[in-house]
Amino acid sequence: MKFRYSFCILRYVHDPATQEFVNIGVALYAPEANYLRAICTTSYARITSVFEGIDGQRFRQVSRYIQDQICAAGERSRLALPLGSAEGIEQVLAKILPPDDSSFQFSKAGVGVASNLDLALHDLYSRQVEHYGNRVEASGRIDEDVWRKFREPLDLAHLTPRLTPKRIVASSYEYEFQRSWKNEIWHVLEPVSFDLLDAGSMLDKANRWVGRATNLMDSPESFGIHMILGEPSDHRLAATFIKAQNMLNKMPGRKEFLRESEAKSFAEDLASEVESHSRG
């Protein structure tokens, strides 16, 4: 069954006079399904790349508060009384974040139709917020920089040409990994840099991967994820990196986490595996 929904983009407006803004969240409302939820980023890396003088701690607090209040309202309605189809999303959100000249403002409403409202919300967030945030998320290194550490020994072992793209398709989500090989099941190799601007970006990135792996779990194809973790160059973020790894450990299914220092040994193990599989 498909539901009509409306959505609003949460924006951080740095200067009300110029109305320059950055998208930081999405709220989605489907009264027929009694559905109201939001996703808001707590990472201010992109904002600091555009504007100066950001109070990072307050930004996190307000962004998280808005998301929690919207989701709590949706949960209360699900367990008790309906939200009321007579109200539009702008009226519903105004009860949580009254429209004014503050830095946090919702856009005018957009509309859509979807059978999976959670997926629709995450797709909107990906396109309206995450897509742009990823451009400034990296600090010293991006994911491909982490991959180069592994590529060198793989090139020497003539294994790189054996790694091919693989799209894992689940019931409500799909993702194409750029490097994979098959040995009984599909194995996907994914570099993930945690050399980021701030702690919030690191935890957000780990959380995205937990969600991504969870949504791929009902794929009819068996697969395992081998994730190369790029450590932060800023030693002050070491404790946050540990937290990020703890979050990644919650990923369901087959998984292996590799450090950049393991590049040579991984290439050797993969070469042995490929040779053994070829003989078999």
What residue ranges do the domains of the chain occupy? 3-137, 143-279
Please state whether the predicted TM-score (pTM) of the whole model is above 0.75. Answer: no
- 15 or 171: whose pLDDT is higher? 171
Q: Mean pLDDT, to the nearest integer, of 71-81?
A: 75
Q: Is the pLDDT of residue 82 over 80?
A: no
User: Tokens representing 115?
Assistant: 């059978």
User: Tokens representing 269?
Assistant: 């193990």
User: Tokens representing 138?
Assistant: 């990296």
Neighbours of 217 (CB within 10 A): 14
Predicted local confidence at residue 135, as pLDDT: 47
Q: Is the pLDDT of residue 5 over 90?
A: yes
DSSP one-letter string for the chain: --EEEEEEEEEEEEETTTTEEEEEEEEEEEGGGTEEEEEE----HHHHHH-S---HHHHHHHHHHHHHHHHHHHHHHHHSS---TTS-HHHHHHTTS--SSSSEEEPPPEEEEES-HHHHHHHHHIIIIIHHHHHHHBSS--HHHHHHHHHHHHHHTT-GGG-EEEEEE-SS-EEEEEEEEEESEEEEEEEEE--BSSHHHHHHHHHHHHHHHHHTTT-SS-EEEEEEEEPPSSGGGHHHHHHHHHHHTT--SEEEEEEGGGHHHHHHHHHHHHHHHHH-
Q: Is the pLDDT of residue 136 over 50?
A: no
Least confident interval from 37-46, 59-68, 130-139, 258-267: 130-139
Which CATH number is 143-279 given?
A: 3.40.1350
Q: Mean pLDDT, to the nearest integer, of 122-133?
A: 78
Q: Is the pLDDT of residue 247 over 70?
A: yes
